[in-house]
Amino acid sequence: MAERKKRIVVGMSGASGAVIGVRLLAALRRLGTHETHLVVSSSGAVTAAQELGFARGDLEAAADVVHNVRDIGAAVASGSFLCEGMVIAPCSMKTLAGVANGFADNLLTRAADVMLKERRRLVLVARETPLNLAHLRNMTLATEMGAIVMPPVPAFYAHPQTIEDVVGHTVGRILDLFGIEHDEIARRWSGLADEFGGRAAREE
């Protein structure tokens, strides 16, 4: 049987942080290891337009295959569609609520539901602040079912200089969760001794 490329489903919903999904798609395209399947909610298209000035076509051009969020019969709606897993970046609190409660009323929440039932990797780049009790409870429910809730929180210890640095770190950590080799993280943590050029260690 001919070997097929590995696949990954990328969902984008209407939380702030459309740039994370876009940069993730760009990284996967550059790395060339995975075929990307994109599902964008209608609010996801709105936030991408507001934050990035992107038309739907700009988003769709970044992916290998695009599925309409209303197409509940698309390939990614079935567990028989083989893939490595799914990332929802950014993940709104509404989409998180749908995933956490098995409420699969569109292709985005259905594909995530499938990942959980097939015990495949599901990473939710959940973005809201501050969080109410429903958000926290839904994060707990999703985690209990095996999803990884990964809010896009900056790592200040990495001394980011630009927004690109912050986004790159988040995208790098997403790729890490799938075991995908990449160069998105400019500088990985290698211990406090390295940070202080050995001084901290000597002062102990």
Ligand X SMILES: Cc1cc2nc3c(=O)[nH]c(=O)nc-3n(C[C@H](O)[C@H](O)[C@H](O)COP(=O)(O)O)c2cc1C
**CB of 83 or CB of 108, closer to ligand X:** 108
User: How many CB atoms sit inside 10 A of residue 29's CB?
Assistant: 15
Q: Residue 16 annotated as binding?
A: yes
Q: Residue 41 annotated as binding?
A: yes
Map residues 5-34 to x or -, x wherever contact with ligand X holds by CB under 6 A.
Answer: --------xxxx------------------
User: How many CB atoms sit inside 10 A of residue 53's CB?
Assistant: 8
Q: Residue 190 annotated as binding?
A: no
68 binds ligand X (CB under 6 A): no
Whether the CB-CB separation of 77 and 107 falls below 8 Å is answered with yes
**Cβ of residue 60: shortest distance to ligand X, in angstroms?**
16
Q: Residue 78 annotated as binding?
A: no
Residue nearest to ligand X (CB): 14
138 binds ligand X (CB under 6 A): no
Q: Residue 32 annotated as binding?
A: no
Whether the CB-CB separation of 89 and 21 falls below 8 Å is answered with yes
**Cβ of residue 94: shortest distance to ligand X, in angstroms?**
4
Per CB under 6 A, the list member of 11, 21, 44, 168 interacting with ligand X is 44
What CA–CA distance (Å, rounded) separates 150 from 147?
A: 9
Report helix, strand and coil shares of the chain as percent, to nearest 5: 45, 15, 40
36 binds ligand X (CB under 6 A): no
Q: Residue 139 annotated as binding?
A: no
Q: Please compute, for residue 150, the number of CA atoms within 13 A of its CA located in the half-sphere on the CB side.
A: 25
**Cβ of residue 177: shortest distance to ligand X, in angstroms?**
21
The residues that touch ligand X, with contacts defined as CB under 6 A, are 13-16, 41, 43-44, 46-47, 50, 92-95, 127-128
